[in-house]
Amino acid sequence: MTTPISAPSIPVAPPTGPRAARAAGPGAASSPNDQRLAESCVEFEGVLVRQLLASSNVGAAERSGYGSMVTDALASAVTDGGGLGIAEAVRRALASAR
């Protein structure tokens, strides 16, 4: 039996504004389950972008303690600006797997 791996707790706000509109996407969700899937994919992309930026030490040069705020702000700007396209790709893959 395998032991599940727990991810670090990263606060992620539910999609709002452009992210909420993007969650609806071009293949707009027709059911509540489809909508939840789309929103979850957008949230996943936000977490992934934050992790990528954190591991690349974005904001690490800032020694005054604001490095994580720089990372969060940049990650939010990327996802609010349309993201990297990961959310839509994951949504399509999961929707076709049903």
CA–CA dist 25, 88 (Å, integer): 8
Q: Is 44 part of a structural domain of the chain?
A: yes
User: Total structural domains in the chain?
Assistant: 1
pLDDT digits (tens, 9 = 90+) for 1-26: 555 454 444 454 555 555 555 555 55
How large is the angle between the packed helices 67-80 and 32-55, nearest 10 degrees?
Answer: 140
Q: Is 7 part of a structural domain of the chain?
A: no
| Helix, strand or coil, per DSSP, at residue 8 | coil
Domain extent, residue 61, equals 18-23+31-97
Q: Is 11 part of a structural domain of the chain?
A: no
pLDDT of residue 97 exceeding 60: yes
Burial class (CB in 10 A: 0-12, 13-18, 19+), 95: middle
Q: What is the CA radius of gyration of the chain?
A: 15
Q: Tokens 């893959």 sit at which residue?
A: 93
pLDDT digits (tens, 9 = 90+) for 37-81: 999 999 999 999 999 988 887 766 656 677 888 888 999 999 889
Q: Is 70 part of a structural domain of the chain?
A: yes
Q: Is 10 part of a structural domain of the chain?
A: no
Q: Is the pTM of this model over 0.85?
A: no
CA–CA dist 38, 10 (Å, integer): 19
